[in-house]
Amino acid sequence: MQTITTFTDADSWNRALYAFLAEKERRSGSRRTVEGYSRMLQHFFGTVGKPPDRITRQDVFAWAYCTGPSGKPPSSVTIGARLACLSSFYRFLIRMDAMASNPCDALERPKVSPSPPRGLAADDIRRLLAVIPETPVGLRDRAIVLTLTLTGRRRAEVLNMVVGDLTVEDGKIWYRYRGKAGKAGKRELPQPAYAAIVAALAAFGHDMATLPADAPLWPASGRNGAALTSGTFYANLQRYFRDAALPAAGVHIFRHSAAKLRRAAGESIEDVSRFLDHSSLAVTTTYLRRLEGQEDKSWAKVAEAIGLGESSTVVLH
């Protein structure tokens, strides 16, 4: 990260900036969010050329509404993101007794039109699954798509899974995951996802029962013992989207799809929120305690909606 060298007391303000970004990463658990905030703050202070204690609301307004590298006027979403980032930094400085006021407070945020709901419908998931080939790589990618769709977990939470994260207790399969900000949880793994995982490992010549606990759940192709990388799966996914005549999308689309399918299956908004570990940190902690070790009573409806029948289950040992 670059330093803000235009400050009169550059070291002090840089330390404040580093502290703010460190706190933001700890609270959000997202490195991408921190990198985005860092870029915006560096751009703002580098453009204005003033230390934080000399910034005026006019400076903030001019920067929030200025054109970006594309030369186009910023959208209302971009303006809102800029103001939110800068305001968050100033609230941090106020809490640290480094500032007395926030120059963003007097500025009105632009109204943002709600974006259309994201997520694939059941028919879209069926089309996607239909084009994934019955090769070892295809079976592995199919297992990942099903796990993402049926669990609603984030990309890293699924792709970082190892064999030891899965356990069989009382006739059900459970998975452990490590979420944002270091949160961990235990949920039931839907049978179709487990069956797909077993089939994919078998296609790579592996037996779930004999693999070490630290073995990757998603083996890479052609590299003994190596784990699949996020970039490789993303590239494969884009090809599947094209073959299924679906719009290109990132891996996160399956988290949206999971919520959409659960809602269509009859779950309340509150149930879906708990399923996805959403809401504030305090509420999410409560939700994690309530869901820890709980059965998943809705996956069967979602599985049926995306065309998975009894053949997708396995006998547990």
Across the chain, which has 317 residues, the per-10-residue mean pLDDT values are: 47 88 81 87 91 93 85 86 93 91 88 67 95 97 97 92 93 87 83 96 93 94 82 96 94 89 81 72 34 63 77 52
What is d(CA 255, CA 171) in angstroms, rounded to the nearest whole number? Answer: 27
pLDDT in tens, 159-190: 999 999 999 988 899 999 887 766 788 999 99
Domain with CATH 1.10.150 in the chain: 10-95
pLDDT at 287: 30
Q: Hey, what are 78's tokens?
A: 């971009």
Place of tokens 């998943």: 296
Full-prediction pTM beyond 0.85? Answer: no
Q: Which CATH class, in words, describes the domain spanning 10-95?
A: mainly alpha
Beta bridge partners of 185: 177
pLDDT at 316: 54
Where do the H-state alpha helices sit in the chain?
10-28, 31-48, 57-64, 76-95, 122-131, 136-151, 155-159, 191-203, 230-243, 253-264, 269-275, 281-291, 299-305
The SS3 call for residue 218 is coil
pLDDT in tens, 39-61: 999 999 999 999 999 999 999 99
Beta bridge partners of 162: 216
pLDDT at 70: 72
Domain with CATH 1.10.443.10 in the chain: 122-312
pLDDT at 270: 76
pLDDT at 200: 96
pLDDT at 282: 38
What's the mean per-residue pLDDT of the chain?
A: 84
pLDDT at 18: 92
**Lateral strand order in the sheet of 166-169:** 166-169, 172-178, 184-188
pLDDT at 291: 45
Q: Which CATH class, in words, describes the domain spanning 122-312?
A: mainly alpha
